[in-house]
Amino acid sequence: MKKILIGSGAGYSGDRIEPAVELAEKGNINYLVFECLAERTIAIAQQAKLKDPNAGYDALLVDRFKAVLGICHRNKIKIITNMGAANAVAGAKKIREIAEELGLSGLKIAAVSGDDVLNVVRDGDYAIMETGEPLATIKDQLVSANAYLGAEPIVEALQNGADVVITGRVSDPALFMAPAIYEFGWSMDDWNTLGQATLLGHLLECAGQITGGYFADPGYKDVAGLARLGFPIAEVQEDGSFVVTKVPGSGGQVKLANCQEQMVYEIHDPKAYITPNVVADFSAVQMTEVGKDRVLISGGKGAPKTDFLKASIGYKDSFIGEGQISYAGPGAAARGQLALDIVAERLKLMGVDYQEIRFDLIGVNALHGPKLSAGHEPYEVRARVGGRTKNMREAVRIGNEVETLYTNGPAGGAGAWKSAREVVAMVSALVPRSLVSYSIQYEVL
């Protein structure tokens, strides 16, 4: 029976590099997938592309491809990634350059475009999903709009013989579904199989989060070898069932509990996980440990896809100014609180114009507020003030009022730090599928 092995080489844009090298060298994999595109990354990449038409792809693309491209070429492993960000075509050209530097030949690189729907949403009458407000309310602040494409363009590129497929925004699961759809010839309206394939992508897309990362809790959930965590491999069968595993000898673990946590990660209704290709249903999924670091997963189902694609929309939202300073020893919390009270009064006295403000004592209540944090006296605290403003000038003033606590605030203020930055934030809107089309460009060498 035919079986394909898909490895997950990165779970986010800044992820570790060498686990993918381990997969390519020792994983016996057929496909290596890198999911590297967070929500906001594409908006920032879009701004970079406006300044330089050859920019706009992932910042670590060069490092990752230099690390794996030669090994993948030698071991006949195809690479699929969304590292194209705002400029997949430029990303593909850069990969070509790297291949030439490495002296590789017989390589076909596909660049998928078409996710950029900025003109579509500018011209249309769309609602912001998060607030229900018209998108027109932020029309002048828009930076980017990218629809989540499905698996179709990647499948087409593979059918055309691509060894490397680089995309911009596609649904994360689609990166993993596409090779299985291509290899097994699954129909694009076989909803149950596509639902199971979505589960495959959903479980692998965060890489180390299913092999023991984001899991350890000493004494309750111990995980060995997190400094050399192995990234996951799915051994996919023709019926869509798959075993999640990792390279023997690598760090981490693949147990039921890891897979269960990752299945529920970032889903809402388990019966309706909406993707561009299918509305997946995880309510009948079965997981079984079938060996050391081997979990068999089946039972994903699905219903027909919707007529809409979600678009992720970047806009210039505001500015954030922030300052921090530490206190330690007896009375540290009281001095930290005094520091916050002083800054609150100073911001008012100086007339700093902010729209939202937050005062935290790191080590006391910064993460969960007063109710959940009550009842302990720490040795050290870090006072933190963060405020939202309409311009950079006001944002800078917030951090300054924390820094001046050195000489004007409570005793023993230490390690002050400040920052001010512009915020490009993201909202979503549903765009009719019929208004979005893709194209593929190839680099051949």
Distances (CA, A) of 224 to 29, 232, 250, 252: 24, 16, 10, 6
268 binds other proteins (CB under 8 A): yes
376 binds other proteins (CB under 8 A): no
85 binds other proteins (CB under 8 A): no
Calpha distance 42→145 (Å, rounded): 9
In whole angstroms, how close is the CB of 217 to other proteins at the nearest point?
A: 7
391: which DSSP letter?
S
295 binds other proteins (CB under 8 A): no
In whole angstroms, how close is the CB of 204 to other proteins at the nearest point?
A: 15
Strand 301-303 and strand 279-281: the pairing is antiparallel
- Name the nearest CA neighbour of 173 among 253, 265, 245, 93: 265
Tokens in use for 217?
Answer: 């809790």
In whole angstroms, how close is the CB of 41 to other proteins at the nearest point?
A: 10
Tokens in use for 7?
Answer: 């490895």
- Name the nearest CA neighbour of 21 among 81, 83, 68: 68
443 three-state secondary structure: strand
Terminal Cα-to-Cα distance of the chain (whole angstroms): 33
Candidate segments 76-84, 162-170, 229-237, 422-430, binder of other proteins by CB under 8 A: 422-430
262 binds other proteins (CB under 8 A): yes
165 binds other proteins (CB under 8 A): no
270 binds other proteins (CB under 8 A): yes
In whole angstroms, how close is the CB of 4 to other proteins at the nearest point?
A: 25
Residue 329, amino acid = G
Calpha distance 215→262 (Å, rounded): 10
- Name the nearest CA neighbour of 411 among 346, 334, 341, 343: 334
In whole angstroms, how close is the CB of 299 to other proteins at the nearest point?
A: 8
124: which DSSP letter?
S
In whole angstroms, how close is the CB of 106 to other proteins at the nearest point?
A: 41
Span 212-241, contacts to other proteins by CB under 8 A? 214-215, 217, 220-221
Q: Which is nearer to other proteins, 388 or 397 (CB)?
A: 388
In whole angstroms, how close is the CB of 324 to other proteins at the nearest point?
A: 10
Beta bridge partners of 112: 167, 440
In whole angstroms, how close is the CB of 46 to other proteins at the nearest point?
A: 14
269 binds other proteins (CB under 8 A): yes
Count of residues interacting with other proteins (CB under 8 A): 53
428 binds other proteins (CB under 8 A): yes
263 binds other proteins (CB under 8 A): yes
Strand 242-246 and strand 273-274: the pairing is unpaired
Q: What is the length of the chain?
A: 445
In whole angstroms, how close is the CB of 220 to other proteins at the nearest point?
A: 7
425 binds other proteins (CB under 8 A): yes
Rounded to 5°, angle at Cα 125 from 123 and 130: 120
Q: Which is nearer to other proteins, 99 or 210 (CB)?
A: 210
Asked whether 288 and 126 are in contact (CB, 8 A), the reply is no
Among 2, 51, 348, 371, binds other proteins (CB under 8 A): 371
282 binds other proteins (CB under 8 A): yes
Candidate segments 28-36, 168-176, 241-249, 424-432, binder of other proteins by CB under 8 A: 424-432
Candidate segments 53-61, 63-71, 100-108, 363-371, binder of other proteins by CB under 8 A: 363-371
Calpha distance 70→93 (Å, rounded): 16
318 binds other proteins (CB under 8 A): yes
- Name the nearest CA neighbour of 91 among 117, 54, 124, 128: 54
Binding site for other proteins (CB under 8 A): 39-40, 129-130, 214-215, 217, 220-221, 257, 260-270, 282-287, 299, 317-318, 320, 356-358, 360, 362, 366-372, 384, 386-388, 423-428
